[in-house]
Amino acid sequence: MDINGSVALVTGANRGLGRAFTQGLLDRGARKVYAAARRTEDIDLSSGRVEAITLDITDADHISQAVELARDVTLLVNNAGTNTFTDLVTGDLDKIRLDLDTHFYGTLGMVRGFAPTLGANGGGAIVNVLSAMSWFAYPGANAYHVAKAAEWALTNAVRLELAGQGTLVTGVHLGLADTDMTAGHDADKLPPAEVVRAALDGVEAGTWEVLVDDWSTHIKKSLAEDPRAFYAQG
């Protein structure tokens, strides 16, 4: 996948990683970037190669409208996300559903909607922005964990389903990026541009899974061990 000259669509492009993806794609020579967000007035990148579009990925009509508009897309970046900080046993079911509707059903809706477009345009690529929390639970955010775990499984599945049309599907895992969503966390955070650089390098190299930081690598390796050992680390 050559990003230079590509046409990309980035969800959640108004801030954080989405904004950084949009800028990173422009820097690598993307011919056009559809910057998608629920509130287009929050999109502040003024390049003539950026077209802001209204898109709520939990709304099937919004997805259909985006597919109809962006028929030239060759690279889809599924970045839009939520974190309701909700647990499963006692948490609000509507909040649990929102995390799942966004990360699983929303991402699936985007993949299903744009797969024919990507196939018609030569295959292209899909980037799903995942998380190290795809692989571990954390009290206070277990709805997010379940949603990201489901999105990881989705990524692995659609990768195989779309291989026949030549579409690369790259999953990107990271710990904390320095964005509005993580503003309340007192921990080391990755600069968004660093995450984007690793992700786009992976796409251009044809990589299936990008582990951006050492934390994600550690978590992935721990899956082969007794889970008690991991959670005992606190």
List the catalytic residues: 144
Structure tokens at 217: 């690598």
Amino acid (one-letter) located at 120: A
Amino acid (one-letter) located at 184: G
How far apart, in whole angstroms, are the C-alpha atoms of residue 36 and residue 25?
14
How far apart, in whole angstroms, are the C-alpha atoms of residue 168 and residue 101?
24
DSSP states of 76-125:
EEE---------SSSS-HHHHHHHHIIIIIIHHHHHHHHHHHHHHTT--E
According to DSSP, the residues that pair with 126 across neighbouring strands are 76, 169
Which element (helix H / strand E) includes 20? helix 16-27
